[in-house]
Amino acid sequence: MRRQHGVVTRSQLLALGLSSDAITHRLSTARLHPVARGVYAVGRPELSQRGQWLAHVLSCGSTAVLSHHSAAELWAIRSAATGPTHVTVSTSIRRRRPGVVVHCRSLEAAERTLLDGILTTTVQRTLLDIATTLRGGRLEAAINEADKLDLVDPESLREALDRYSGRPGVAALRAILDRGSFRLTDSDLERRFLRIVERAGLPLPATGEQVNGFKVDFQWPELGLVVETDGLRYHRTPVQQARDRLRDQAHAAAGLTTLRFTHAQVRYEPTHVRSTLMTVATRLRKAPHGPSEELLA
């Protein structure tokens, strides 16, 4: 029963050889405790959260899987929250269970998996499901958490969305993923960034110069300031990440300050970029011995 988080179904007990009378006797002597239709807690009535989830899934039949916000919590991509258990069942089965929100839709085998002994939707399917009701920063936080836990990366999630084209939730996920990996063309990026520079009251920077053995996007030699713009907000390859670190370390060793902005920030958050540039430039102008700090943004 430990693998089932302290719960067992009536059909499982019958398969083990117990008769209906034997099950009734165990209920009357508090060796079994009913927790859901056809599901019992063994030994004591208190169940962990996982035990409650499993009991609800088992009570909804053989096609049932934990889904939506409950699955997101099981995957640890959403924080714990009070509320009913979300379960998805085959569209051919209609059930109502106390404390359970039942979603009726057909799931492919590839959308179901076993996690900690509980049948649940895959993390890709879970993200798609919660995207129908979760918006903005909370949905983005769930994507980032799945990424951090190595459950799915944004690139493979985007590929999965191609298979879900037209379904609810796809548009919300794409809006976050496409903005997160947004990339301007070199000419458009330079044009937009230089416009921000002008509004910040800074002189125009040198572009595409070699500094400390690396090509930099924008540089103010008089300030000791370098600005790099990254096209991908999420994943860069290990080789790219290592090169970024070496470049930043070389600049820091030479006493330069490095600022990093994403293409999406240049496009969608110009006020933040301008404010950061102005603040850092002011600090560098006031530095008594010239720039000596490294600042990453």
The conformational region for residue 167 under phi > 0 = left, psi -120 to 50 = alpha, else beta, is beta
Q: 120: which strand partners?
A: 66, 113
CATH of domain 186-286: 3.40.960.10
Instruction: For CATH 3.40.960.10, list the domain ranges present in the chain.
Output: 186-286
Cβ–Cβ under 8 Å, residues 194 and 204: yes
Two tokens at 91?
A: 């569209």
Residue for token digits 């030479």?
Answer: 254
pLDDT digits (tens, 9 = 90+) for 210-241: 999 999 999 999 999 999 987 654 445 667 77
7 Cβ contact list (under 8 Å, min separation 6): 1, 35, 39, 40, 41, 42, 47, 51, 54, 55, 58
Q: How far apart are CA 253 and CA 294, in angstroms?
A: 9
Report DSSP letters for 151-202, one per residue: S--HHHHHHHHHHTTTSTTHHHHHHHHHHHT----HHHHHHHHHHHHHHTTP
- Give the residue-averaged pLDDT of 122-140: 89
pLDDT digits (tens, 9 = 90+) for 254-264: 999 999 998 88
Q: How far apart are CA 120 and CA 130, in angstroms?
A: 14
- Where is pLDDT greater, at 188 or 283? 283
- Give the residue-averaged pLDDT of 163-179: 86
Cβ–Cβ under 8 Å, residues 32 and 42: yes
pLDDT band at 158 (very low <50, low <70, confident <90, very high): confident
